[in-house]
A and B are shown apart, each in its own frame.
Chain A
Amino acid sequence: MAEVSEQELVRLTRSGNLEAYGDLVRRHQNGVFSACYRVLGNREEAEDVTQEAFLRGYQRLHQYDAERPFGPWIRRVGANLALNRLAHNLAIHPPALELDDELDWPEQEEPDPAHAAAEQSDQRRLLQQALLQLPAHYRAVIELRHFQELSYQEIAAALGIPLTDVKSYLFRARRALARSLRDGA
Chain B
Amino acid sequence: MEHDAVSVHPAETELHALLDGELNAEARRRVEGHLAGCAACARRLERAQALFVQIESLPELRLDRDLSRPVLQSLRGKSRPMPMLGLLGLQSLAAAALIWAASDRLTRLLAPLAQVDLPGPVITGWTSLIGVLLAVRLPATGFRLDSAAWLPRLGEGLPDLGAAPDWILWGLVALGAWLLVNSLVVRAERERRPDGG
Task: Give the B-binding residues of A (Cβ under 8 A).
Answer: 18-19, 21-23, 25-26, 29-31, 33-34, 37, 47, 50-51, 54-55, 58, 99, 101-102, 105, 107-108, 123-124, 127-128, 131, 142, 145-147, 151-152, 167, 170-171, 174-175, 177-178, 181
> Which residue in B55, B67, B76 is a CB contact (below 8 Å) of A29?
B67
Specify which chain B residues have a CB less than 8 angstroms from the CB of A167 in the assembled complex: 13, 16-17
9 A-B Cβ contacts within 8 A? A18-B197, A26-B66, A51-B67, A54-B71, A58-B71, A105-B12, A108-B47, A146-B55, A181-B54
Within 8 A of A (CB), among B18-53: 20-22, 44, 47-48, 50-52
A159: min CB distance to chain B, Å: 16
Asked if B50 and A108 make an inter-chain contact with CB atoms under 8 angstroms apart, the answer reads yes
In the complex with contacts A105-B12, A152-B20, A171-B13, A25-B56 CB distance below 8 A: no
Most buried by B among A21, A58, A146, A181: A146
* CB <8 Å contact, A30 and B61: yes
Q: Which of B12, B54, B71 contacts A127 (CB 8 A)?
A: B54
The answer on a CB contact under 8 Å between B16 and A174 is yes
Q: With both chains docked as a complex, state the minimum distance between the C-beta of A33 and any C-beta of chain B, in angstroms.
A: 4
Interface of A is mostly: helix
Contacts of A22 on B, CB cut-off 8 Å?
68-69, 71-72, 197
With an 8 A cutoff between CB atoms, is B2 at the interface? no
In the complex, the answer to whether A25 meets B71 with C-beta atoms within 8 Å is yes
Tell me which residues across on chain A come within 8 A of B16, comparing CB atoms: 167, 170-171, 174
Q: How long is the Cα–Cα vector from A53 to B62 in the complex, in angstroms?
A: 16
Q: Which of B144-197 contact A (CB under 8 A)?
A: 197
Q: List, in ascending order, chain A residues with CB within 8 A of B13's CB.
A: 99, 101, 167, 171
- What's the count of A-B pairs with C-beta under 8 Å? 112
Q: With A and B bound together, what is the CA distance between A30 and B61 in angstroms? A: 6
Q: Whole-angstrom distance from the CB of A132 to the nearest CB of chain B? A: 9
A62 to B197, CA, bound (A): 23
Tell whether A177 pairs with B55 under 8 Å between CB atoms, given A33-B63, A55-B74, A108-B47: yes
Q: How far is the CA of A107 from the CA of B69 in the complex (A)?
A: 47
Instruction: State which of A23, A55, A131, A181 has its C-beta within 8 Å of the C-beta of B58.
Output: A131
CB pair B12–A101 under 8 Å, yes or no, is yes
Q: With a CB–CB cut-off of 8 A, which chain B residues contact A21?
A: 68, 71-72, 75
- In the complex, B59 has a CB within 8 A of chain A: yes
